[in-house]
Amino acid sequence: MKIVIVGGGTAGWIAACYFARFNENLKNEIVVIESSKIPTIGAGEGSTGIFTKIVNSHFSQMGINEIDFLNKTSSTLKLGIRFKDWNGEGKDFLSPVQPTETTLSSVDSHVLVSHILGDYADSSPSGYLMNNNLSTYSKSGNTIMGHSYHFDAQKVGEYFKGYAMKAGVKCVDTEVITLNKNKITGELDSIETTIGNISADFWVDCSGFSRVLIGPMGGGWKSYEEYLPTNSAIPYIHQYETNETPKLETLAWAMPNGWMWQIPTQERYGCGYVYSDKFTTYDNAVDELIKTTGRKIEPLRNLKFDCGRVETPWVKNVVAIGLAQGFVEPLEATSIHATIIQLDFLLTNTTNFVLEKENTIFDSNINRYNEFVGKFFDDIKDLIQLHYITEREDTPFWKYCKYEMKRTDNVKDILSICKHRSPSMLDFNFYHGSGNWGVWCWSLIGLGHLTKEVAKNTLKAYNNTDEQILNTFNGIKNRNFKNSIRCMSSKDFMKTLLNKQL
Amino acid sequence: MKIVIVGGGTAGWLSAMYACRFNEFSKNEIVVIESSKIPTIGAGEGSTGVLTRVINTYFTKYGITEIDFLNNTEAILKLGINFKDWNGIGTQFYNPIQPSDTTQSSVDVDLLVQHIKGNAYESSPSAFLLANDYASYSLNKKDTTAGHGYHFDAHKVGQYLKSIAINNGVKCIDTEVTSVNINKDNGELESVETTIGNLQADFWIDCSGFARTLIGPMGGGWASYSDFLPANSAIPYIHQFEKNEDIKLETLAWAMPNGWMWQIPTQKRYGCGYVYSDKFTTYENAVDELIKTTGRTIEPLRNIKFDCGRVNSAWVKNVTSIGLSSGFLEPLEATSIHSTIIQLDLLFTNGLNFVNKESLMYDANINTYNSFIRNLFDDAKDLIQMHYITEREDTEFWKYCKYEMKRTDKVNEILEICKHRSPSMLDFWKYHGTIGWGVWCWTLVGLNHLTKDISLKTIKAYGHSDAEIEDRVKRISHNNLIKSIKSMKSKDFVQCLLTKTLGK
């Protein structure tokens, strides 16, 4: 089969690697169309633990590994996200990459005990390291526990491009002008480009917001506008001060009309203000940025977006992956996460595109894929909405979020449950890539929805005595103490990383 | 809080045990109403691996261990189900308790390579032991060597749990419910009238089986699966062991002219039953079919009529239904006790172990519970239907199943996928108690919906060479051989059970 991937960003080149992975005898011809005239979106991007898995295991036979990845892409580690000012000024909470060791139990005793007696983020090994400016690398230079990465999408795209092309993927520098759909089968036969006609058996649309293929193929659109308040972003770059060592965390800083991301790579911060243009203007948003951060800001551009997803990401012989499939603001680093889960699912369902076309593209395969991706993305939307339901009501924007925004069923259920007991994994769907209790717990506690009192009542209802609670707490402290001895400080880690001595 | 459980079968007494488990803190009054006049349903019951977990870990502080359970209930191990004659007379396949080691991978390589070699079951350690007359107990009579469930007599298990529950403060009243008093203002069940007077409670658990004594009047509703599942009747009977009979540690599910027969061994005898459709045969003919197919004299215990389906709302106000009262599927995959346990897991987690009424009864809790239970039953229904789509067309019944029966969306989807590639765990939703690829695979392979050809293609598409496939087969055989060397023969195991020397 001939497979054409349209778009050469992170999604496009990771997709190319996935397609190349089981294509040793080059049974399929794999082509990526990328235009040197179309810039890649992104001023800093973060990932979840899933990306760590693909860097360390999925593509190892292609020569990819973590240290190679870090060295060649100027990426840094990410131990978690620091949410600043979300529940009012001066209040931080952490969302560590690594869930607790009891996250799959019917009562997550580690997070609850830590919540009652100390800092709940310490219940996650990586949360404790974050709190203490440590890294997830041991002093002898081995990686020891859950982290993901901060990176520059452009560089990561280039990195995967290098390996994909080594594995035989071809790259054509051109742009799509029009599509030629087959009138009888409805399939996409070929496209016209600036350098002529290109045909393929299967198409992967990684063209980002422009949705070059899935749009005309009738993918449709389901907007999350009712449920998510923001629709604009102002990305900018912020240079490090001399001798500044960045923390190994994404900063998500609540602002008067949205929030700002700040993502460290080896060279600089990538930042951006995600806001709602219904509550502020571009000019005011820039002023708010300057006022809140005390920085000089040079906006790269003013991005407009509609959070939502394509109704049918796989139509006939075209599938949309990454931003072309859907978009929610980067609050929980779900973008690259979703890209990887979609590719895992797509390549498994299609048996890696090694079989004949009729064994790859058939209704049940397509329906199951669309059902899964739709639900998966809708669940992400619920998690993002949760962050906006805070104690803040200092601006009309935050008042709107608290009192007027339509809440999703899942958010309503979970918030209602939090008044009575701690939720647990049983309250969430868990499937490949689902963001369930292991992620929700941090925001629920951080925003005060799950109080210490309810946490304690939950533990008590499971027959935990005060002594047992204290024992569990000491056990966690002990584990953290041992980790603190083993791990490099984040400063030393950054120095080692910059000297390429990892 | 006062909690009243109506019905004293397996579901009722298991519910009582769950209620006991964290009662040191919640200090509830727990009452089970059971009538000595109402018999417990069941002529032999099998479980999935979920009951094994409950027996081995949940109630250890009450002294419940596997060996204690086996010794006191006449239960024996279940390594899997043996499906006989489903794809035509003379065909056979196993559905073992323990899935293959690669069942969670995006391609279940172990299962597929063994399927290609003609022995899919060898990818499951428990099926390998079963097929070679081994038990999943090691020669030291203590450790287990592979996953297993149990075969048991529901009545005896009920009694076993009852004595432990009563020792731990649960009260038992021998009476029957005659009517229910629902509060007109808030819709809650306030009290029930019984043959010995009025009984009140804060929360009610309906374990009354088919009678649905509480959930019926509370408006639980009903969704029938009769469009999708062909059987609606059952003839249970008891069959005694021959002298020196070699008991296999398996449920036999034997396809019959108009349905199928279960045969479940306990320590003393077989519990059997013919599940059939009265649209295709009569009770008398069904008994004749049984006699003819098995060559046995049959003494039917009764003729049960049932409607496969589930209640729409398993939890209404302060009443929840657990077990048969919440839904029923024929016992083909032992889903009954399985769903009872999953329901209790969820109910007691969601209900915060019943500390007080406020932390138990609120809409979000009730709604998430009900939608979970609906999915659990509906998904199990898909799996059961799968078994009826076979190559058999020797009777009107099997022709109907093959050509006319309305297929569920999931069955259609999976069957179409099988024409192109092997399905995997990603094709099934995953949740606590989910019945996914790890169970479906055996039936799909056994009924030849997933062919060797497609299996080979799927593995090849993942870059596995012929040499790698051979290596894997060798490794699996080697591991199985080691397991069998460590395990007791099933004959010796049963002997141990009967002499109560297990663990000694």
Residues contacting A139, CB < 8 A, separation 6+: A486, A487, A488
B95 CA to chain A: closest CA distance, Å? Answer: 24
Strands (E), B70-229: 76-78, 80-84, 92-96, 134-138, 149-152, 171-174, 177-182, 189-194, 197-200, 203-206, 223-224
- In chain A, which residues have their Cβ closer than 8 Å to the Cβ of B412? 364
Chain B interface test: which of A22, A28, A53, A352 (most B C-beta within 10 Å): A352
A420 contacts chain B (CB < 8 A): yes
Residue owning tokens 């499939």: A325
Provide CB contacts within 8 A for B448, sequence distance 6+: B87, B391
> How many alpha carbons fall within 13 Å on the CB side of residue A125?
18
Decide if B364 and A349 are in contact by the 8 Å CB cutoff: no
**pLDDT value at residue B346:** 94
CB burial readout A252-275, b (16+ within 10 A) else e: bbbbbbbbbbbbbbbebbbbbbbb
The minimal CB distance from A461 to the residues B352, B421, B426 is found for: B352
Confidence of residue B66 (pLDDT cuts 50, 70, 90): very high
What residues form DSSP beta bridges with A32? A5, A171
- Least Cα distance to B388 among B446, B345, B450 occurs for B446
List, for residues A72-103, the tens digit of each pLDDT value: 999 999 999 999 999 988 889 999 999 999 99
* For residue B50, pLDDT beyond 70: yes
pLDDT of A25 above 80: no
pLDDT at residue B351 in the model: 85
| DSSP, res A46 | E
Of B20-29, B50-59, B128-137, B298-307, least confident by mean pLDDT is B20-29
Whether the per-residue pLDDT at A29 is higher than 90: the answer is: yes
CB contact under 8 A, B365 and A420: yes
Q: What is the pLDDT of residue A331?
A: 87
Give tens-digit pLDDT for B398-444. 999 999 999 999 999 999 999 999 999 999 998 999 989 999 999 99
Side-chain-side CA neighbours of residue A263 (13 Å): 28
A87–chain B nearest CA distance, Å? 25
- Over residues B188-202, the mean pLDDT reads 97
Cβ contact, residue pair A355, B421, below 8 Å: yes
User: What would the pLDDT profile of A268-301 be if each residue is shown by its tens digit?
Assistant: 999 999 999 999 999 999 999 999 999 999 999 9
- CA atoms lying within 13 Å on the CB side of residue B93: 23
pLDDT band at B170 (very low <50, low <70, confident <90, very high): very high
pLDDT at B23: 85
Helix H or strand E segment including B421: none
> Is the distance from CB of A88 to CB of A392 less than 8 angstroms?
yes
Residues of B in contact with A427 (CB under 8 A): 350, 368
Q: Decide: B450 and B115 in contact? Cβ < 8 Å.
A: yes
pLDDT over 90 at B229, yes or no = yes
* Average pLDDT, integer, range B217-232: 97
Mean pLDDT, residues A489-496 taken together: 95
**Residues of chain A found within 8 Å of residue B365, distances taken between Cβ atoms:** 416-417, 420
**Residue B14 pLDDT class (50, 70, 90 cuts):** very high
ipTM value for the complex: 0.86
Average pLDDT, chain B: 94
- End-to-end CA distance of chain B, in Å? 43
Contact residues of B toward A, CB < 8 A: 22, 24-26, 106-107, 345-346, 349-350, 352-353, 355, 358-360, 362-365, 367-368, 412-414, 416-417, 419-422, 424, 426-427, 429-432, 457-458, 460-463
| Nearest residue to A346 (alpha-carbon basis) of A200, A167, A202 | A202
Task: Please tell me the total number of residues recorded for chain A in this structure.
Answer: 502
Q: Which residue of A has its CA nearest to B24?
A: A463
Burial zone of B421 (CB within 10 Å; 0-12 exposed, 13-18 middle, 19+ buried): buried
Give the per-residue pLDDT at B161. Answer: 96
Q: What's the pTM? A: 0.91
Closest Cα in chain A, distance from residue B369 (Å): 9
Question: Quick one: what percent of chain A has pLDDT higher than 90?
Answer: 83
Judged by average pLDDT, the poorest of A22-26, A377-381, B202-206, B344-348 is A22-26
The answer on pLDDT for A42 being more than 80 is no
Lowest-confidence pick of A62-71, A427-436, B475-484: A427-436
CA distance B417 to B413: 6
Q: What is the pLDDT of residue A41?
A: 58
| Three-class secondary structure of residue A95 per DSSP | strand
pLDDT computed for residue B387 by the predictor: 97
CB contact under 8 A, B359 and A424: no
Q: CA of B105 to nearest chain A CA: how many angstroms apart?
A: 10
- Predicted pLDDT at B43: 75
pLDDT for position A468:
95
The span from the CA of A356 to the CA of B182, in Å, is 62
Contact map slice: A 116-135 vs B, CB within 8 A? none
- Does the pLDDT of residue B168 top 90, yes or no? yes
Residue A10 near residue A322 (C-beta atoms within 8 A): yes
Over residues B340-396, the pLDDT tens digits come to: 999 999 999 888 778 888 888 999 999 999 999 999 999 999 999 999 999 999 999
Inter-chain residue contact B362 with A416, CB threshold 8 Å: yes
- Whether residue B359 and residue A355 make contact (CB cut-off 8 A), yes or no, is no
Residues of A in contact with B349 (CB under 8 A): 106-107, 424, 426
Cα–Cα dist B417/B412, whole Å: 9
Structure tokens of B448? 């030849």
Query: Taking 60 as the threshold, does the pLDDT of residue B262 lie above it?
Result: yes
Hey, is B160 helix, strand or coil? helix
* Average pLDDT rounded to a whole number, residues A413-428: 93
Measure the CA–CA gap between B275 and B289, rounded to whole angstroms: 12
Cβ proximity of A5 and A206 under 8 Å: yes
Dump pLDDT digits (tens) for A325-366: 999 998 888 899 999 999 999 999 888 888 888 888 999 999
Residues of chain B neighbouring A413 (CB-CB closer than 8 A): 364, 367-368
- Nearest-CA distance from B358 to chain A in Å? 7
Q: Which residues on chain B are in Cβ contact (under 8 Å) with A106?
A: 345, 349
Q: State the alpha helices, DSSP H only, in A147-189.
A: 153-166
Q: What span, in angstroms and rounded, lies between the C-alpha atoms of B255 and B257? A: 7
How many angstroms separate the CA atoms of B373 and B371, rounded? 5
Model pLDDT, residue A479: 95
Q: pLDDT tens across A377-401, in order?
A: 999 999 999 999 999 999 999 999 9
Q: What is the pLDDT of residue A356?
A: 84
Selected residues 425-444 of chain A with any CB under 8 Å from a CB in chain B: 425-427, 429-432
Does residue B41 carry a pLDDT above 60?
A: no
